[in-house]
Chain A
């Protein structure tokens, strides 16, 4: 069974459309990343999947059920973000006890061990926690719930580097022991890319890409060298980004469909080819730069008003 299935899911807030007919499906028991620039529609999508919002059009299904107003989905999924509200009268320990009452797969030993490891005080209160501590506490709830569909929306907000590392490690270890469907949205793609099996990229409310992490890592290639050593055929390639390095040299990021012969020719011309990491590829494919030139152009005062997603001029 598919863990998640979305058919043409659209969400409108008044006149603004946050999601434009997004369709995809997710196999169960995978860790999947959700990436997108600010305002791409990530949170809206995740909230629809956990039944916190209702889609305006189309259909979202979680384990075959429509999530909105559905107790079965509520009991088997959890949505963790940095704006979780808990009753202020409860202590942190009491909140965990409530989690145990609600989530049937809840692992209280794990919850308490993590609680101690991260140095929480049992009598502390959620609204007194610092930003990073709050995220850490929410993460503990997300992991301990062992929900069939576990969703983390920007879970590492405010966490320091060491805690983020611990969190990723805890997430992987617990997933290995208890496989489940985990959907993780993050702005730190470079930190989680090895944990993910697949990635979904949203751009301006549209699904831009849903692929394996392996493919994402070889999606783009960086080509750099002198202007005159770029062969004629380069202009037929799909450019994701182009940057001048001084008057005579430039780096071009393009979709990685170079043939061996083409690579040989570039190399013969003294042009350097290098790998583009998954997180860099993500930045290039979703960049505001697409079709407009980079930030530098904003400052130099000439922005081409092209609206295409990809440029292909040399």
Chain B
């Protein structure tokens, strides 16, 4: 809700997230080779250095591993790492934002929990 999400997400992050979702939905499996920076640059019409930055980010997080001279591959347990990361970062950030907003609106803790509960039921129907 603050700045960062306001359409100003850097392209390399978007590339990294795209690869993450490919891993999540089974498009890329463990030990499978990920697109090279050049292929990604070609697909998305971007500078290869930008694509490389996205790949490097995932390698640093341990989601991908490097085979020197061959490319980057999906690491063992990548899915679990992505789930954990999203729980701890993305989801937590969203909840922080909700709580902050609730604070401005002077809502109580119970009211918020009630809202989440309703939404949860609505979603699972």
- Contact between B3 and A196 (Cβ–Cβ < 8 Å)? no
Cβ proximity bits A219-252 to B, threshold 8 Å, 1 near / 0 not: 0010000000000000000000000000000000
CA distance in complex: A32, B62 (Å): 31
- Docked Cα-Cα span, A275 to B41, in Å, equals 24
**Which of B6, B11, B41, B50 makes the CB contact (< 8 A) with A273?**
B6
| Chain A residues touching B, majority SS | helix
Contact (Cβ within 8 A) B2 A214: no
Q: Is the CB of B2 within 8 A of A194?
A: no
Interface residues as binary, A199-219 with B (CB distance below 8 Å gives 1, 0 otherwise): 000000000000001100110
Given contacts A31-B47, A195-B47, A275-B8, contact A172 B3 (CB under 8 A): no
B2 and A275 contacting across the interface, CB-CB below 8 Å = no
- A268 at interface, CB cutoff 8 A: yes
Q: Does B35 contact A (CB under 8 A)?
A: no
Partner among B12, B45, B49, B104 whose Cβ is within 8 Å of the Cβ of A172: B45
Closest approach, in angstroms, between the C-beta of B21 and any C-beta of chain A?
20
A264 within 8 A of B: yes
- Cα A158 to Cα B47 in complex, Å, equals 25
Contact residue among A31, A195, A214, A264 (Cβ-Cβ distance under 8 Å from B12): A214
Within 8 A of A (CB), among B36-62: 38, 41-42, 44-50, 53
B11 contacts A194, CB within 8 Å?
yes
The complex places the Cα of A221 from the Cα of B10 at a distance, in Å, of: 14
Contacts of B48 in A (CB 8 A): 176
Residues of B within 8 A of A268 (CB): 104
Taking each of A169, A176, A218, which has the highest tally of chain B beta carbons within 10 Å of its own beta carbon?
A: A176
Interface residues of B (CB under 8 A from A): 1-3, 6-8, 10-12, 38, 41-42, 44-50, 53, 104
**Residues of A at under 8 Å CB distance from B?**
30-31, 168-169, 172-173, 176, 194-197, 213-214, 217-218, 221, 260, 263-264, 267-268, 273-275
